Copies of this chain bind each other. A is one copy, B any other.
Amino acid sequence: MPDIKLALLGFGNVGRALARLLLIKRDELRRRYQINWQVVGITTLRHGGAIDPGGLDLEQALTLAEAGKDLSPLSLQPATIDGEIFVRLCGADILFENTPVNYQTGQPAISHIRTAIESGMHVITANKGPVVHAYQELTELARSRKVRFFFESAVMDGTPIFSMWRETLPAADLLAFRGVLNSTTNLILTLMEEEKSFDEAVVYTQEIGIAETDPSGDIQGWDAAVKVAALVTVLMRVPIKPAQVTREGIEGLTLKDVKDALAAGRRWKLVCQATRVDDGVHASVGLEQVEPSDSLYNVIGTSSSITFESDVLGDLTITEANPGPQTTAYGLLADFINAVHSSP
């Protein structure tokens, strides 16, 4: 079994968690899946890039990046932080595209992925942007090149959602879904129930690293809307854009609203939902007060949950507790194994 050559475009929290998981699972991948791998390229805006067709020392790359140092000493050739050039030069079999999400256009990730697929690479990403802005094009391109474009970690981290529908629910028709899909806003709501102000709660989510410096994408419901659009596009096979999702954020909610709901035995949740209708799909993100009997009532803090209504099963609910970069990394690893084992 020849080594499978991996390239990591993006080496932030998720990219590094993937690197650590690859090292932890190296023996198991060899033993159980007959997969040997080496990382031939890493690039990142913050730590520069490194390419070595003979295989980089991944532990050393982790050490350098975690010490805030540049990766270029590991490189056999002049390093690049240009994603496009990196993809062309890296010589990998599989590209992990982990650049930051761009809600509006999905770029530059879409270009990176397109170039990689055209070069015959499987592409695996946790990036929602390319899924909502270019799912059909990239999937068809991948099919024509006999490679895979997988993105399990784009929604609910490594929890199997896309792969569950793809692999384990054949011939099932998704009629509707409802869930809590944005960790940051859900944690903010939980903190407000613990009497923290909205602003204090936002600062806390930034301090623990789950919200961006500009948290508006989460708070205004954009991140949730992008996830709804991704699920509708892929699982309901109705391509919609985030702007087509009726959207409400949590910014209007006051501490009093939260207290009043609690006093009445209810909790506010930012609920994502979509329902198939005659002429397409109705999709929305909005605040709801949920009762204790609602499956979303116990989804607190950074947990998330989704209930699927289909033509063949009763309501099927998947709930994920305690996500983190390492669970996102696991979704990428699972996609890697499945891409290698399912390729045509």
- Which listed residue, B152, B171, B316, touches A333 by the CB 8 Å rule? B171
A163 contacts the other chain (CB 8 A): yes
Interface residue A175 (Cβ < 8 Å from any Cβ of B): no
Contact status B314-A324, CB under 8 Å = yes
Inter-subunit contact B172/A168 (CB<8 Å): no
Contact with B along A146-169 (1 / 0, CB 8 A): 000000100001111001100111
Q: Do B170 and A313 have beta carbons less than 8 Å apart?
A: no
Cβ of A3 < 8 Å from any Cβ of B? no
Query: B-contacting residues of A (Cβ < 8 Å)?
Result: 21, 25, 28-29, 32-33, 152, 157-160, 163-164, 167-172, 292-293, 295, 297-298, 303, 312-324, 326-327, 330, 333-334, 337-338, 341
Can you list 26 residue pairs at the A/B interface with Cβ under 8 Å? A29-B171, A33-B170, A157-B313, A159-B313, A159-B316, A164-B168, A167-B167, A168-B168, A168-B338, A170-B341, A171-B333, A171-B337, A172-B330, A292-B298, A297-B298, A298-B298, A313-B327, A314-B322, A315-B322, A316-B319, A316-B320, A316-B321, A317-B317, A317-B319, A318-B318, A319-B319
Question: Other CB < 8 Å A-B pairs besides A167-B167, A319-B319, 8 of them?
Answer: A33-B170, A164-B164, A170-B337, A298-B298, A312-B326, A312-B327, A314-B324, A314-B327
